[in-house]
A = this chain, B = another copy of it.
Amino acid sequence: MADNRFWRLDAHPKGRDFAAAFSLQHEPVPTPGEGQVLVRNDWLSMDAGTRMWITPRTDGYQPPLPLGTKMVGLCLGRVVESRAPGFAAGDLVRCFGQWADYTVVDPALSGLMKLDERVTDPREHFGALGMNAWTAWAGLVEVAKAQPGETVLVSAAAGATGSLACQIARNLGCKVIGIAGGPDKCRWLVETLGVDVAIDHRNDDIAAELAKIEGGINVYFDNVGGPILDAVLPNMAHYGRIAVCGLVATYDSETPVPGPARFDQVLMRRLTISGFFLPDFMERAASFVPTLRKWLDAGKLVMNFDETVGLENTLDAYAHMLGGGNIGKVIVRVRS
Q: What residues of chain A have their CB less than 8 Å away from a CB belonging to chain B?
A: 59-61, 225, 230, 234, 244-247, 250, 256-277, 280
Task: Report yes or no: B266 in contact with A256, Cβ–Cβ below 8 A.
Answer: no
Task: Output the least CB separation between A6 and chain B (Å).
Answer: 28
Q: Is the CB of A268 within 8 A of B258?
A: no
CB distance from A139 to the nearest CB of B (A): 11
* Nearest CB in chain B: distance from A197 CB, A: 23
Q: Are B271 and A275 in contact (CB under 8 A)?
A: yes
Given that A261-B258, A263-B225, A264-B247 are known contacts, is A274 also in contact with B275, CB under 8 Å in the complex? Answer: no
Contacts of A277 in B (CB 8 A): 267, 270
* A271 interface neighbour in B260, B266, B274, B280, Cβ under 8 Å: B274
Report the Cα distance A296→B275, complex, angstroms: 37
Asked if B256 contacts A259 (CB within 8 A), the reply is no
Contacts of A245 in B (CB 8 A): 267
The answer to whether B257 touches A258, judged by C-beta atoms less than 8 angstroms apart, is no
Question: In the complex, which residue of chain B has the Cβ closest to the Cβ of A225?
Answer: B263
Beta-carbon nearest neighbor of A49 in chain B: B267
Contact of A275 among B230, B258, B269 (CB under 8 A): B269
Q: Is the CB of B269 within 8 A of A61?
A: yes
A270 contact set on B, CB distance < 8 A: 61, 274-277, 280
> 5 other contacts beyond A257-B264, A272-B272, with CB at 8 A cut-off?
A60-B268, A244-B266, A247-B267, A266-B275, A269-B275
Residues of B within 8 Å of A234, CB to CB, are: 59
Shortest Cβ gap from A230 to chain B (Å): 8
Q: Indicate the member of A256, A257, A275 with the most B CB atoms within 10 Å.
A: A275
Tell me the minimal C-beta distance from A116 to chain B in angstroms: 29
> Which chain B residues lie closer than 8 Å to A257 at the CB level?
264
Enumerate chain B residues within 8 angstroms of A276, measured Cβ to Cβ: 270
- Once the chains are docked, how many angstroms separate the CA of A57 from the CA of B129? 47
CB distance from A126 to the nearest CB of B (A): 22
